[in-house]
Structures are given as C-alpha cells and as structure tokens.
Structure 1
Amino acid sequence: MNLELRHLKVVCAIAETGSVTKAASQLGLAQPALTAQLQRIERTLGGPLFERDRRGARPTALGELVLSRARVLLPAMKGLQDEAARLAGAGSDDTMSRYRIGSIGGPVVGGMVHRLSESQPDAQISTHASYYVDELCNMVLAGKLDYAQVGVCGDAIPSADYGLVWQTIAIDAVCVLMPEDSRFAKGDEIDLAELADEQWAAGTGDGCFGDCFAAACARAGFTQKRLLETDIRGVVDMVESGLALGLCQPTFRPPAGLTHRPLAGAPVRWRQVLGWHPDSPAARIAPRLSEMAIEAYQEVVARNPMYVEWMRAFPHLGGAQAAAGVGEEAVSTS
C-alpha cells in the first residue's frame, strides 16, 4: 500500500482526539473500519504508531515522527489546493472564466447573476446559499467561492478574522412584515414603541441582529418578547396566522395579503455587502461585480415606491452612496 494524504489525516485525527473511537466519529467512519485502516498504515510504515490502552491512544516514537511530517504536509497541501482553486477561475484582466458566488439569499444575488450572464454569456456561474456569514466567508477564504454577498447589522462589517475585503451594496431600514389589514399598516412607518406587546419572527442566521433588535426595543422603552427564528417561509406562515410580526428587508416581496413598513427613525438597519479575497483573481473584477450588485439592489428597491419616498428623509440609507463610492469604500478586514 502506498501512503496517501488521507492516511496522514487518519493519524492526525487519532493523535488529536487521543482515541480511535473518537477519531472515527470525527472522520465519519465506523470504528472497526478505522482500526483496520490504521493497521494497514502501520504495516506500510513498519511499526505501531500508537500505544493503545484503556486511557486511549498515545503516539509511539515512530508515530511522533509521522505526525511531525504530517503537520507540515497537510497544511501545505491545503494551501496549494486553495491557491489553485483561486487561480482556476482567472480569465483576462477584466473578466474571469468562472464565477462562484455565495449568498445568504435575497434579490441582489439574482440581479448580479442576471447582469453577469448578459455581459459574459460564456462564463461558468454558480451560486451557493447559506444562512451563515461564517460559512460563506470560510468558503471564500478556502478558495471554494470567489465572492460572498451577505448581510450584517447596519453599523457592522463581517469579522476581521476572515481577512476579506468588503464593499457596501446598500444600507436599509429593517421593516415590519404584517397583514395588510393590520392597524399598524395605515401609515408609511411604524413607531417601534407601539409594538411592545407583539411577538416577533425573523430569518435565522448568525451575527448580532437579535441583540441589536433587543437593544432597539430597550431604547424604545420595553423588553421584546422572544424572537422566533426560522426560514422565510416560516416567518410568512407565522405572520399570516397572526402568531407574530415579522422582521424583513424592504426589498422583500410579501405574498398576497401581507405588507411591510419601515420602523420610524430606522432604529435597526441592515447592511448588504459583497466580499472577496484580496489576493484572488476575483479582486480584479470586484469593482465591476460591486456595480452590478448595487444596480441589482436599486432595481429591486424601486419596486417599493413607498419605501423609496420614505427613504428620502434618510440620505444615509439605500444604495446611492454605495454606488458613488465603488472602489473607494471597500474595506479590508485583514
């Protein structure tokens, strides 16, 4: 048997967990299968790699030697794979042959893909959806995605731990989703203080949105009831049934019978951003993709003329400032 990288991963997993059983669980293998694989590795290398007893598995001298080499080779190979993945999509100076875009959902990514497809019909375009900013950022960092189009609380950008560059697409007031015949739907905005007794529902995800909303409620003079987190279909169902009011973006198109209004004074805001790795081919095309994202946002938000009119009193909201600052406003969190 020839020794392969997957065999080194097995050895490292056993050493890190201190147990063949725990390593099998971590690797998604049956314990007998991992034991048999370890025995084949040991036969190939000429001796036992671990001393195994009731206290677990501890590396032998030969095991320590193998581990020292594995801890150099595995990160180096992963680095090679990440760099190769980033470069694989490289095209000319102003295009790429492949675009992989991750998104937390919403209409902006659809508009981006539409514009990209029209401008570059032969390009390979793929999308990946996730509720979690962390997952998408790590995929960009690993070279599995070229861009991440995500949302965060209005005063924040994703963590500096990812080392990505971020361009603001738009900042919006968070809106309240409710039935059309709700007493709160009569005006063009809703005072948060009037909603002290309401149950709330919102899309799931990571980040500080839940804490920021709770803080906004506290500033309005009340403690919010528990925020129910689910997917968007679940939020719609809860609102339609009268169980809760929903929290959504103004670009969300409510189904028949529902409507939404912004919270007065925009006490909670939602920032949409586009991120990329600064050392990847995607960085060259990022200004162009950012323009497409801002155009997509502006097209979608124009379908909500009531919100567009309301937003005139808040010049810091919307996508106009982002459009004026493409290429200047990008923020590196490395």
Structure 2
Amino acid sequence: MDLELRHLKTIRAIAEAGSLTRAATALGLAQPALSAQLKRIERALGGVLFERGREGVRATALGDLVLDRARVVLPAVCELQEEAVRFARDGADGYRLGGTHGPLLGGLVDRLARTEPEASVSTHTSWSEREIARGVAVGRLDFALLGVCGESGPFDADRLAWAEVARDPVYVMLPTAHPLARRTELPLAELAGEAWTDVPGDGCFGDCFAAACVRAGFTPARVYETDTASCVHLVQVGRAVGLCRATFPATPGLVTRPLAGAPLVWRHLLGWHPEGRAAGRAPTVLQHARDAHSEALTRSAGRATGAK
C-alpha cells in the first residue's frame, strides 16, 4: 500500500484525539474500521505508530517521526491547493462577493451593477462568518462583507486584509404595539422579561449579548436563533423582541430602537486576499460598501420612525 495524504490525516487525528474511539468519532468512522486502517498504515510504514493503553494511545518513536513530517506536509499541501485555486481563477472577470444576510450586500451589488454594468457580479451568503472568510482565503470569493462584535477580530485575520466599512450600535426590534415602542431609546434592563430572537453566527456576538444582559442585571429567559424572516415574524406577532443592526430596513409591524448607552456595537468589515486577483480593486469596493451603508442607514427602520 502506498502512503497517501489521507493516511497522514488519519495518523494526525489519532494523535490529537488520544484514543482510537475519539478519533473514529471525529473522522466519522466505526472504531473497528479505524483500527484496521491503522494496521494497514503501520504495515506500509514498517512499524507500530501508537502504543495502546488503558488511557488511550501514545505515539511511538516511529509515530513521532511520522507526525513531525505530517505537521509539515499537510499544511504545505493545503497552502498549495489554495494558491492553485487562486491562480486558476485570477483570469476571471467580475466580482464574487460573500456576506452574511443583511442590506449591505444587496446595496453593494446594486452599486457595482450601476457603476460597472458590464461586469458580472455573483454572491454567496451564509450565517457563518468563518465560511465566508475561508471562501476568500482559498480563492472562491473575491470579497467578504461581514461583521464582528465590538473590537473582536475577523476570521483569517492573518491571511486576509480587512478594512472597516462602518460601526453601528446594535438596535432592538419591537412590535409596533409594544408598550415601549414609542420610546426613542431603551435601557437594556427594561427588556429583562422579554424573550429574544436573533440570527445565528459563529462569532462572539451571542456571548457579548449575554454579558451585556448580565451587566444590566438579568439573564435572557429565552433566545430564538433563526433566519431573518422568522425573527421578523416572531417580533411582529409579539413572541419575542429582536436584535438587529442599525441598517435594518423599515418593516411593517415593527419598529427598531437603539439601546441606551450602546452596550453592543457591530462593526461592518470588508475583507480580501492581499495577493488575490481583486486586491487592486479593494479601495473602490470599500467606498461602494461605505456608500451602501450610508444609504441603508437612511432607509433604516429606526431613521424612518424617528429614533435616534
């Protein structure tokens, strides 16, 4: 049997897990199947890679040698693949944009279509900021338009260039019939008895919201994480109050209001690969994104209803 990259990944997974059972779970294999695969790998390499014990497995001297090589080879192959993808796509025209759900991505698409009508523009959306950032890092996307909580850093900050588009306080969405809907801003503590709704994400916003609630003297009774349309519906029917960006568009049946003292802040960011095909166009795209933010803020629910 010839040694393959997948075999090195298997050896690394076993070493990181510390046991065949945990490694099998991580790899999505049955434990007997992983044991049989390890025996085949060991035969190909001419010796035992791991010693089995009651507390799991431990690499042998041969295992340590193979693991040292794997820690060099696997990242190098991954980097090669990413560079090859970027190189193969460097000749393509147009803009490939990725973003989380919100009005800024649509505004950016609109501005690019207006100013460069001959250029193709494609989009990819996801609730996962990590997925969007990785899409840019490996060359599947040209730009990432996403956000982070407060001063948190973006994903793949070591590989991508990031610029701040804008910084907004986080707003709360209320049904128009809510007793607090006529207020221009709301202390977070006055919403202590409410259920909440928000879109999911893999950043730290959930933890930051929970911490802000603790500082305000309460713990949220319930938080519904769901898509934007469902969040809006839950607010409209009075099932929950919602968290949203200041750029959230005016929507029938609800109002948005800033939280007093801005306990939560959202930073809109634009990211690109500094060696990617679109790096030279980043200043233009950044300005379009900032203009799109200004337009979205003007149209937002809070501005439309007179909130600060």
Q: Structure 2: any 5+ residue segments left out of the alignment?
A: none
Q: Count the aligned residue pairs.
A: 302
RMSD over aligned CA atoms reads: 3.5
The 1-side partners of 2:294 and 2:219 are apart by: 34
2:61 maps to 1:65: no
The offset of 1:13, in angstroms, is 1.8
The match for 2:282 is 286
The offset of 1:299, in angstroms, is 3.4
**Which of 167, 183, 190 in structure 2 is aligned with 1:195?**
190
The match for 1:23 is 23
The 2-side partners of 1:214 and 1:54 are apart by: 41
The offset of 1:143, in angstroms, is 4.7
Which amino acid letter does the alignment assign opposite residue 162 of structure 1? A
The 2-side partners of 1:214 and 1:55 are apart by: 38
Which amino acid letter does the alignment assign opposite residue 211 of structure 1? C
The match for 1:89 is 89
The 2-side partners of 1:26 and 1:172 are apart by: 39
Q: Cα deviations across residues 201-232 of structure 1 (Å, max 9, x unaligned)?
A: 242333256536854895xxx52451625123
In structure 2, relative to structure 1, the CA distance for the partners of 1:288 and 1:23 (3 Å cut) is: same
Which amino acid letter does the alignment assign opposite residue 8 of structure 1? L
The match for 1:246 is 242
The match for 2:143 is 147
The match for 1:125 is 122
104-113 or 4-13, which deviates more: 104-113
| Structure 1 segment 199-210 matched on structure 2, within 5 A | 199-203=194-198, 204-205=200-201, 206-208=203-205
The match for 1:38 is 38
The offset of 1:2, in angstroms, is 2.5
Identity %: 42
1:201–1:238 Cα contact (<8 Å) kept? no
Q: Cα deviations across residues 73-130 of structure 1 (Å, max 9, x unaligned)?
A: 1121112122223333324xxxx53644332210111232344456365647341412
2:217 maps to 1:223: yes
The offset of 1:21, in angstroms, is 2.3
- Normalised by the length of structure 1, the TM-score is 0.73
In structure 2, relative to structure 1, the CA distance for the partners of 1:42 and 1:173 (3 Å cut) is: closer
1:217–1:223 Cα contact (<8 Å) kept? yes
The alignment partner of 1:184 has SS state of coil
The match for 2:105 is 109
The offset of 1:139, in angstroms, is 4.8
The match for 1:49 is 49
In structure 2, relative to structure 1, the CA distance for the partners of 1:297 and 1:45 (3 Å cut) is: same
Q: Cα deviations across residues 255-304 of structure 1 (Å, max 9, x unaligned)?
A: 43222233466554432111223343343221122123223323333334
The match for 2:208 is 211
- Normalised by the length of structure 2, the TM-score is 0.79
In structure 2, relative to structure 1, the CA distance for the partners of 1:85 and 1:120 (3 Å cut) is: farther
Which amino acid letter does the alignment assign opposite residue 201 of structure 1? W
The match for 2:172 is 176
The 1-side partners of 2:154 and 2:218 are apart by: 27
